[in-house]
Amino acid sequence: MSRAETPRRAGRQGRAGIRDVAAAAGVSITTVSDALNGKGRLPDATRRHVREVAERLGYRPSAAARTLRTGKSGLIGLTVTTYGDEPFTFTEFAYFAEMARAATSAALARGYALVILPATSRHSAVDVWSNVALDGTVVIDPSDHDPVVLELVRQGLPVVSDGRPAGTLPVTAWVDNDHEAAVLDLLDHLAAAGARRIGLLTGTTTDTYTRLSTQAYLAWCQRVGQDPVYESYPAHDPCAGAVAADRLLARPDRPDAVYGLFDPNGTDLLAAARRYGLRVPEDLLLICCSESTVYANTEPPITTLSLKPRRIGTAVIQLLIDAIEGIEHDRPIEQVIPTELIVRTSSQRRPPRTTVSPPRSPAPDN
Amino acid sequence: MSRAETPRRAGRQGRAGIRDVAAAAGVSITTVSDALNGKGRLPDATRRHVREVAERLGYRPSAAARTLRTGKSGLIGLTVTTYGDEPFTFTEFAYFAEMARAATSAALARGYALVILPATSRHSAVDVWSNVALDGTVVIDPSDHDPVVLELVRQGLPVVSDGRPAGTLPVTAWVDNDHEAAVLDLLDHLAAAGARRIGLLTGTTTDTYTRLSTQAYLAWCQRVGQDPVYESYPAHDPCAGAVAADRLLARPDRPDAVYGLFDPNGTDLLAAARRYGLRVPEDLLLICCSESTVYANTEPPITTLSLKPRRIGTAVIQLLIDAIEGIEHDRPIEQVIPTELIVRTSSQRRPPRTTVSPPRSPAPDN
DNA sequence: CGACCATGCAGAAACGTGACTGCTGCTGGG
DNA sequence: CCCAGCAGCAGTCACGTTTCTGCATGGTCG
């Protein structure tokens, strides 16, 4: 009683606390808390009065205190694979941006915010990971024994991964495309368009996407009895892609159709084809995996495989928030998102129509 | 004493607390805190012992409790302009992605993490803004009397904006390009290449970038005595850009050079030029403002104006963290980042060389 | 030999909120 | 008329840190 009487330096160089509101409204802090959070049993008059006073004082509850008390921060970590100092790589650019955009939107709609965090725990002098209170984490393409993921699950935090986890990584759930099916379907499409020898532009990295896609290509080749024709390059190096595209078309066993696994491969292959005087699609059929809309307006427009990053981003967030809020599914959830082959001129020997291409559409659902 | 004796349910269904470490190490929690944070006066033996025990128990300090106690969360808000439900618009896509990438990297290097937040306070049922403890905020292109910014500065939080604030918005600091100078320089470049009538593809929105750029265009026209030739469209609609590009080239007073303010304008204008049988650059000179590297490999390659988003993102973060950490500059800081005109074939009547274009460079500093 | 100081550590008070417990006065039924 | 029950609210603890204050102990110097 003796200390409680001190009027508490009201808003001393900072925001008003719940105590200031209680004092100003002539009630206890319990009543303030209950009134603002819609709990307890209070008459509407008191509730309105307290809310009015809180509004007048510009009271905002301390997020830190609430987090400490409730154990929920409303924050979701989003790890991005880092090469060197930069978060997310050049080749993943459009994909990651689209995926992050959808994830951000989905998280905000459910009252959560995303925190961008590095894939490595020791990115700077202080460990940013342990400095932020997370309710859960989304990891993109985690490696086999990702130490960050292991540490997070050890702490009991739900972890959902974009891309099926390699090895025995104990994630709460994952979302991925069916990469084998996508590649097989796409190769059949090229073969149906008249391709006799299909080449592949792939990466030297061992991530799941590259590995599964390449394996599917090799399996397809074996099935139809074609010798594999492919070039690998470090996908994080934007220069190397153009060089590898050139190498692929310079081979003695030059393919008459190429699938490029990474986003810039389309323009790379197109430029290389021009250098060798190859017409697309007459001499060379072309498909690349990309989310970029520029391929709708290239000369010629290029067929792309979309991994539907927006659907993936949304799905990942829904699964994670369900896990956070205890909407428990019993066993590890695996969700497979279908890909979409956006067929354009570059993969068709007979372009369906020779009219001018209309202005590109907004592509509402990729 | 009576209560302190209870061994504190060690790590009951959660992480070990500082008290568990203290008990296990046989010291007080003060000693643990000092040992781990490098404070106080402790012999190295004690320090090492405590760290060992903490490591063994897998102790991680609670970020929420630390934030509550110290008042610093290590989190920086990043607002993105939302159109409809989606964070950041299509036209700002590459710019925003690059800028956010650099900002993320710069923040992590100084021990801070970025939280992506919506520009509007009421994006969902709960107010995400008041649910997260921020040390400061980066706002991109704030509107004249942005209520979020006003609320933040009222709370005493530092706010740094990307784009000079309109009106009397009380930001702590801002970073921007010199848009007038960039446009004037670019128009001179086109005129020097032989352009007689330069057109503009601009937006209907009233943001600072669009406004300043358009004003500079009009001022340049007046100076050289050319009638302005421009088309406006809602920049957030990806379809409208293609239509506006078509409209611009369909005019009776068709320009022989065009500058497009937004990222997709390059491919839009190129497609429109093809439809009207205009050769680039022989019949039509082309420049657009873009950060995308696809314009290095289009047919022909298109000259672009880069706003240097990575330098802007880095600068914004440095100014903000300086403000947070009390490295005070006395008055509102304004930092102007120069733009860069990346000259390619589309803006040169005589292409400097007709050799094949080499694989594009990694563009280390845009 | 006694006073003083540096060293090594423990106790306890915050930080601001949420939630449990419990106290008071009023009302209605037996 | 009395007591059970409930509405309406206040007190108090706990969340897990950081940090201020302060108490011992042992060594040193006048």
In this complex, the residue of A133, A155, A362 whose CB is nearest that of residue B239 is: A362
Sort out which chain B residues have CB atoms less than 8 A from A111's CB and list them: 124-126, 128, 131
In this complex, the residue of B97, B128, B292 whose CB is nearest that of residue A113 is: B128
Sort out which chain B residues have CB atoms less than 8 A from A314's CB and list them: none
Task: Tell whether A109 is covered by a domain.
Answer: yes
pLDDT in tens, chain A (366 residues): 333 333 444 434 467 888 888 888 888 888 888 888 888 777 788 888 989 889 999 899 999 999 999 999 999 999 977 665 565 555 567 788 889 989 999 999 999 999 999 887 665 667 899 899 999 999 998 887 888 899 899 888 999 999 998 888 889 999 999 999 999 999 999 999 999 999 999 999 888 899 999 999 999 999 999 999 999 999 888 789 999 999 999 999 999 999 999 998 999 999 999 999 999 999 999 999 999 888 888 888 999 999 999 999 999 999 999 999 987 776 668 999 999 999 999 999 864 544 555 555 554 455
pLDDT single digits (tens) B66-101: 999 999 999 999 997 766 556 555 556 778 888 998
Determine if strand D comes within 7 Å of the CB of A41: yes
Task: Tell whether B265 is covered by a domain.
Answer: yes
B67 contacts A88? CB cut-off 8 A:
no
Task: Tell whether A83 is covered by a domain.
Answer: yes
Which is higher by pLDDT, A183 or B361? Answer: A183
C-alpha distances in angstroms, B170 versus B177, B313, B333, B337? 19, 20, 11, 21
Please check whether residues A85 and A166 belong to one and the same domain: yes
Query: Within 13 Å and on the Cβ side, how many CA atoms surround A191?
Result: 13
Please check whether residues A104 and A252 belong to one and the same domain: no
In this complex, the residue of A100, A155, A275 whose CB is nearest that of residue B60 is: A155
Query: Does position B354 have pLDDT exceeding 60, yes or no?
Result: no
Sort out which chain B residues have CB atoms less than 8 A from A74's CB and list them: 126, 128, 131-132
Query: Which of B170, B191, B207 corresponds to the end of one domain?
Result: B170
Domain count, chain A: 3
Please check whether residues A239 and A325 belong to one and the same domain: no
Which strand D bases fall within 7 angstroms of a protein CB?
A: 7-12, 14-21
D15 closest protein residue (CA to C1') = A69
> Which nt sits closest to A20, CA to C1'?
C16
- Decide if A335 contacts A275 (C-beta within 8 A): no
CB pairs under 8 A between A and B: 195
The nearest CA of chain B is from the CA of A226 a distance in Å of: 30
Please check whether residues B157 and B56 belong to one and the same domain: no
Q: What is the pLDDT at residue B227?
A: 96
Q: Quote the tokens at residue B208.
A: 């600072």
Q: What is the pLDDT at residue B7?
A: 43
pLDDT single digits (tens) B254-276: 999 999 999 989 999 999 999 99
CATH number for A297: 3.40.50.2300
Which is higher by pLDDT, A87 or B242? Answer: B242
Please check whether residues B108 and B30 belong to one and the same domain: no
| Protein CA B29 to sugar C1' C11 (Å) | 10
> Which nt sits closest to A62, CA to C1'?
C16
Q: What is the pLDDT at residue A5?
A: 37
Which is higher by pLDDT, B186 or B331? Answer: B186
pLDDT single digits (tens) B104-127: 999 999 999 999 998 876 656 678
Q: What is the pLDDT at residue B220?
A: 97
Please check whether residues A81 and A166 belong to one and the same domain: yes
What integer best gives the mean pLDDT of chain B? 86
> Best residue in B360, B361, B365, B366 to probe A by mutation, most A CBs within 10 Å?
B360
Sort out which chain A residues have CB atoms less than 8 A from B292's CB and list them: 294
Domain of A222?
179-306+341-347
For strand D, list residues 68-127 of chain B whose Cβ lies within 7 Å of it: 68-70
| Protein CA B30 to sugar C1' D11 (Å) | 29
Please check whether residues A265 and A162 belong to one and the same domain: no
Query: Does position B1 have pLDDT exceeding 50, yes or no?
Result: no
Please check whether residues B262 and B223 belong to one and the same domain: yes
Sort out which chain B residues have CB atoms less than 8 A from A126's CB and list them: 74, 111
In this complex, the residue of A108, A113, A242 whose CB is nearest that of residue B359 is: A242
B110 contacts A104? CB cut-off 8 A:
no
Q: What is the pLDDT at residue B193?
A: 95
Task: Tell whether B110 is covered by a domain.
Answer: yes
Helices and strands per DSSP (H, E), number in chain A: 11, 14
Q: What is the pLDDT at residue A235?
A: 83
Sort out which chain A residues have CB atoms less than 8 A from B75's CB and list them: 115, 132
Confidence of residue B14 (pLDDT cuts 50, 70, 90): low
Determine if strand D comes within 7 Å of the CB of A28: yes
D19 closest protein residue (CA to C1') = B30
The nearest CA of chain B is from the CA of A31 a distance in Å of: 20
Query: Which of B124, B139, B170 corresponds to the end of one domain?
Result: B170
Q: What is the pLDDT at residue B80?
A: 79
Q: Cα–Cα distance between B360 and A316 in angstroms, integer?
A: 35
A124 contacts B110? CB cut-off 8 A:
yes
Please check whether residues B105 and B38 belong to one and the same domain: no
A109 contacts B113? CB cut-off 8 A:
no
Determine if strand C comes within 7 Å of the CB of A46: no
Determine if strand C comes within 7 Å of the CB of A33: yes
The nearest CA of chain B is from the CA of A113 a distance in Å of: 6
DSSP for A138-197 reads EEES--TT-HHHHHHHHTT--EEEESPPSTT---SEEEEE-HHHHHHHHHHHHHHTT-SS
Determine if strand D comes within 7 Å of the CB of B31: no
B321: nearest Cα among B112, B161, B100 = B112
The nearest CA of chain B is from the CA of A158 a distance in Å of: 13
B297 contacts A267? CB cut-off 8 A:
yes
Task: Tell whether A199 is covered by a domain.
Answer: yes
CATH number for B39: 1.10.260.40
Which strand C bases fall within 7 angstroms of a protein CB?
A: 7-12, 14-21
- Cis upstream peptide for A300 (omega within 30°): yes
Which is higher by pLDDT, B332 or A180? Answer: A180
Task: Tell whether A11 is covered by a domain.
Answer: no
Query: Within 13 Å and on the Cβ side, how many CA atoms surround A134?
Result: 29
Q: Cα–Cα distance between B38 and A221 in angstroms, integer?
A: 61
Determine if strand C comes within 7 Å of the CB of B53: no
A133 contacts B62? CB cut-off 8 A:
yes
C16 closest protein residue (CA to C1') = A65
Q: What is the pLDDT at residue B83?
A: 60
3-state secondary structure chain B: CCCCCCCCCCCCCCCCCHHHHHHHHCCCHHHHHHHHHCCCCCCHHHHHHHHHHHHHHCCCCCHHHHHHHHCCCCEEEEEECEECCEECCCCCHHHHHHHHHHHHHHHHHCCCEEEEEECCCCCCCCCCHHHCCCCEEEEECCCCCCHHHHHHHHCCCCEEEECCCCCCCCCCEEEEECHHHHHHHHHHHHHHCCCCCEEEEEECCCCHHHHHHHHHHHHHHHHHCCCCEEEEECCCCHHHHHHHHHHHHHCCCCCCEEEECCCCHHHHHHHHHHHCCCCCCCCCEEEEECCCHHHHCCCCCCEEEECCHHHHHHHHHHHHHHHHCCCCCCCCEEEEECCEEECCHHHCCCCCCCCCCCCCCCCCCC
B87 contacts A105? CB cut-off 8 A:
yes
CB neighbourhood size of A356 (10 A): 10
Query: Does position B222 have pLDDT exceeding 60, yes or no?
Result: yes
Please check whether residues B304 and B196 belong to one and the same domain: yes
A109 contacts B15? CB cut-off 8 A:
no
Q: Which residues contact A151 (CB under 8 A, 6 or more apart)?
A: A121, A129
Task: Tell whether A209 is covered by a domain.
Answer: yes
Please check whether residues A300 and A191 belong to one and the same domain: yes
Query: Which of B125, B143, B170 corresponds to the end of one domain?
Result: B170
The nearest CA of chain B is from the CA of A130 a distance in Å of: 7
Q: What is the pLDDT at residue B333?
A: 87
Please check whether residues A324 and A246 belong to one and the same domain: no
Task: Tell whether A103 is covered by a domain.
Answer: yes
